[in-house]
Amino acid sequence: MNIRYVVAGALAACLPAHAVTITFEDLSPGIAYAGPGGGTYEDGSNLSGSFTSGPLTLPNSYSSTYGSWSQWSYSTTTDSTTPGFLNQFSAYAGSGAAGSSTYVVAYGGGATIPIPSGYHIDSLQITNTTYTGLSMLNGDFFAKAFGGTTGEDPDFFTVTFTGNLGGSPIGSVDFALADFTFTDNSIDYIVAQWTELDLSSLAGADELVLTYASSDVGAYGINTPLYVAIDDVVLNAVPEPAVLLLGSLAPFALLRRRR
């Protein structure tokens, strides 16, 4: 028997799928948006408590008393020009990643991404929401325009993804949603396009937790609207123990064959 081919065949049969990209295109939000571009969104008012796309389930918290939500929503709205809270579900890029229709929106510090069993997090696409982007660009009733009246204020807005394993942090990745801290003001920026964020350093986590930091802070905390839009979450499958064992035996099988 040719052990080399037996091992190779066993490995091929046992290897899991390489990666799964969660595009959220299998979700169908049901609340119509009345602003420019139309589209729909889902804020959790159906009281489902969560929503699932592929192997990924994201939590949602909705208060029927106040008509408010936190954690995650999903949307197909495309309004990148209307400022204010009523346009809180639109990605500043005007669509989902790569021109797709559906994406998810996180609101509030502490939003979580539970990593499905059998997978590691690899990357995702990220951008500002229109509400947050225009708030930083022009200011609003609650928040300042980044850069201030002179353009010299060293403002910033950052989201941090902290990877937890069993409730304990194993690492974190920061992403600047806006950065006005450069000496050369011409390179200050507010993120308005989908950008890939590498999260592979958090591969051992079973949960990601989102937190925010901003230069615009008042008596009640951060004034910048605490939103971020996310799409195309890439999960890599974790090899089964049997696959790892076969992989470790393969060199010995090949050595035996050569002898």
The predicted-structure confidence for 163-192, as pLDDT tens digits, reads as follows 999 999 999 999 999 999 999 999 999 999
For residue 127, which of 78, 164, 85 has the smallest C-alpha distance?
Answer: 78
pLDDT score at 239: 79
SS3 string, 53-116, reads ECCEEEEEEEECCCCEEEEEEEECCCCCCCCCHHHCCCECCCCCHHHCCCEEEEECCCCEEECC
User: Is the same domain home to 3 and 118?
Assistant: no
pLDDT score at 18: 81
User: Is the same domain home to 25 and 110?
Assistant: yes
User: Is the same domain home to 2 and 107?
Assistant: no
User: Is the same domain home to 84 and 183?
Assistant: yes
pLDDT score at 234: 98
Q: Residue 209 half-sphere exposure, CB side, CA atoms within 13 Å?
A: 13
The values of phi and psi at residue 184, to 5°, are: -90, 105
Q: Which residue has the tokens 């022009």?
A: 138
pLDDT score at 15: 47
Range of the domain at 257: 1-16+240-259
**Cβ atoms of residues 105 and 194 within 8 Å:** no
CATH of the domain at 103: 2.60.120.1350
Give, for 210, the enclosing helix (H) or strand (E). strand 207-214
User: Is the same domain home to 43 and 87?
Assistant: yes
The structural domain count of the chain equals 2
User: Is the same domain home to 104 and 201?
Assistant: yes
pLDDT score at 41: 98
What is the distance of C-alpha 203 from the center of its chain? 15
**Cβ atoms of residues 130 and 81 within 8 Å:** yes
User: Is the same domain home to 75 and 53?
Assistant: yes
User: Is the same domain home to 49 and 2?
Assistant: no
> What is the value of pTM for the model shown?
0.87
pLDDT score at 240: 67
pLDDT score at 251: 52
Q: Which residue has the tokens 């409730």?
A: 167
User: Is the same domain home to 6 and 122?
Assistant: no
User: Is the same domain home to 217 and 227?
Assistant: yes
User: Is the same domain home to 8 and 26?
Assistant: no
pLDDT score at 254: 42
Q: pLDDT under 50 in the chain at which residues?
A: 1-16, 243-247, 249-250, 252-257, 259
